Amino acid sequence: MSSPPPLLPSTITTLRRHLVKLTLQPQPQPQPSRTYPKELRRVLEEGGWGLGDERGVRLERDMCAPFTHPDPGRVWRGGTVKSSFNYLLLDPRISMDLPLRAGNMDTETAFKCFIKAVFYVCGDKESLVRAIWSAGYGVVSLHVFHNTIPVEAYTREAAIIESIGVDNLTNSNHGTYYGPATPGPMPVGGH
């Protein structure tokens, strides 16, 4: 219906049907424009995963080494009990049941959808979560990297935030790196 007909007794039934149809159809959510960090942007635009399996495994191993068997003489933020994990919050209005749809998608398309749906939040997630619930959706919570010590979880959180870009998330800060993943000349624990 491009322009509504005049409101007359003869058109009321048609207008009501059209109104019901409009209210039952899910409305597309406006997607804010995202500018990703160059590494992720390259993967999303050019395809491929950037790191070879061997290099990725080596980087993961090097990052985890001090956390796997923590030095009992060293004091780590949060202690050394392996009870931490990371989680990503995904907007189901964007992911639209991605696990079910992924079988019919190529890997790169599924990955792009996943990245767009992530809105992992440290502090100000509540308003976005409420907006998602108000739209009749739940929030998808994806728990990853279980049974880690807190500083490993913080390091992974910082790396995920940096990879996606803090401006593309609702996180209030960049996160904190520890151990060998600490960037540049910064002191351990700074970022």
DSSP string, 53-116: HHHHHHHHHHHHHHHHS--TTS--TT-S-S-EEEEEEE-HHHHSSHHHHGGGS-HHHHHHHHHH
For 87, phi then psi, to 5°, come to -145, 150
pLDDT per position as a tens digit, 54-95: 887 888 899 999 999 998 889 998 899 898 888 888 999 999
pLDDT per position as a tens digit, 27-54: 555 566 789 999 888 888 887 665 567 8
Asked if residues 94 and 29 have their Cβ atoms less than 8 Å apart, the reply is: yes
The three-state secondary structure class of 122 is coil
Asked if residues 179 and 111 have their Cβ atoms less than 8 Å apart, the reply is: no
% of residues, the chain, pLDDT over 70: 75
The three-state secondary structure class of 148 is strand
Instruction: Give the pLDDT of residue 138.
Output: 76
0.75 surpassed by pTM: no
